[in-house]
């Protein structure tokens, strides 16, 4: 179910597990963010990168 939601997203964010493994998507969206670190820093990295994509694509500021 999670894979389907991520594959249908405009921007999908994947945060690896502490062991470095990560969820694989069969049909990833064009905007796929894979964090370099596991949680919690990985979530921060993924969110910042996703917001940057939104800003660059749609011109929406994230203050």
Per-chain mean pLDDT for the chain: 94
- Cα distances (angstroms) measured from residue 10 to each of 5, 40, 42: 10, 23, 19
Statement: residue 63 has pLDDT above 90 = no
Domain boundaries, the chain: 2-58
pLDDT digits 0-9 by tens, 23-59: 999 999 999 999 999 999 999 999 999 999 999 998 8
Nearest-CA neighbor of 25 among 11, 36, 37? 11
pLDDT score recorded for residue 42: 97
pLDDT digits 0-9 by tens, 4-19: 999 999 999 999 999 9
């Amino acid at each position: 179910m999670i894979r389907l939601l991520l594959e249908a997203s405009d921007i999908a964010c994947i945060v690896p597990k502490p062991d470095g493994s990560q969820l694989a998507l069969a049909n990833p969206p064009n905007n796929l963010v894979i964090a370099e670190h596991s949680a919690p820093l990985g979530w921060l990295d993924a969110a910042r990168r996703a917001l940057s994509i939104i800003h660059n694509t749609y011109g929406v500021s994230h203050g």
